[in-house]
Amino acid sequence: MKLEITLGEILSIMATLIGILFAYRSLRSQIDIQNNQQKIEIFSEYTKRYQEIIVDFPENINEQGFELLSLKKEDYDKLMRKMRQYFDLSFEEWYLNNGGLLDSRFWNLWSGGMTTALSKPAFVDAWKIVKIHTVYGNDFEYFIEQKINSVRVLGS
């Protein structure tokens, strides 16, 4: 049995392969677009949640002289609710990153923000209180403690 392939058949096979290649590239492009849109939605959602938390922080919370325990009870309670939300949000971001579910650029931005926050006495004091009543797990708690310690070393 002799196999003969005509020029027309070769061209037909090549056209089919080129069509498959273009279809694959188009599908890959659509998947990339969807992935980027999902990343933007995640970033926007977490940014919105962060802004909803910090908008209620006292204006002077970032000052080195801010004293959490000097607040009136009502103000203290309100701030501690927001601090718990802040640490819950930080935990979610950390958890997503550890699961490989975050874009590294987002994580670097958020992790840097946590470092900045934990350079402030109000956040360190709040963390000491929050971790007494909330269990995030040893890994996250170690992560926060390392951030606090790294800021202390830099500030020394």
Q: Which tens digit of pLDDT belongs to each residue from 133-143? A: 999 999 999 99
In a domain, 146, yes or no: yes
The Cα–Cα gap between 14 and 130 comes to 65
In a domain, 62, yes or no: yes
The long-range contacts involving 108-113, CB below 8 angstroms and separated by at least 24 positions, are 110/46, 113/50
Query: Does some domain include residue 139?
Result: yes
Number of domains in the chain: 1
The amino acid that residue 113 corresponds to is G
* Inside any domain, residue 110: yes
Residue 52: inside a domain, yes or no? Answer: yes
Judge whether 32 lies within some domain: no
- pLDDT tens digits, residue range 61-119? 999 999 999 999 999 999 999 999 999 999 999 999 999 988 899 999 999 999 999 99
Whether this prediction's pTM lies above 0.75 is answered by yes
Give the residue numbers spanning the domain of 76: 38-155
In a domain, 20, yes or no: no
